[in-house]
Amino acid sequence: VALLVAYDGTGFHGLAPQPGQRTVGGVVLAALSTVLREDLTSSFVMSGRTDAGVHGWGQVVHVDVRELPKGGIQRLHRGLNKLVGPEIVVRDVAVAPPDFDARFSARWRRYRYTVLTAPTG
């Protein structure tokens, strides 16, 4: 299953799951494991990494699942958004081909950095 994730990274210690730290990936992984009722730690793959406080609009994540919940992709999508919000939004969920890899299947990546130097944002 592939996910397209957006997030306000202000309250997170980056993207990758880290023990004892609140991360975007950790929250998404916990939600996936709850909705699908299986430990998905070993198959959770992100398209990249970010530092603490960084926001994302189109982070791709994939995970190998045994089966979808009753109600399919739509139920998974709704269930995830109930558990991860409001700082994280799962924008899309899709069944990915068996050889899909969030990190290595990317055809391109785009980064935009905004640095504020004023005393107020």
92 is catalytic: no
Distance CA(2)–CA(94), nearest Å, equals 5
Contact 84, 25 (CB under 8 A): no
- Provide the 3-class DSSP secondary structure of residue 56: strand
Catalytic site residue from 39, 51, 64, 101:
51
- R_g over Cα of the chain: 15
Catalytic sites, residue numbers: 51
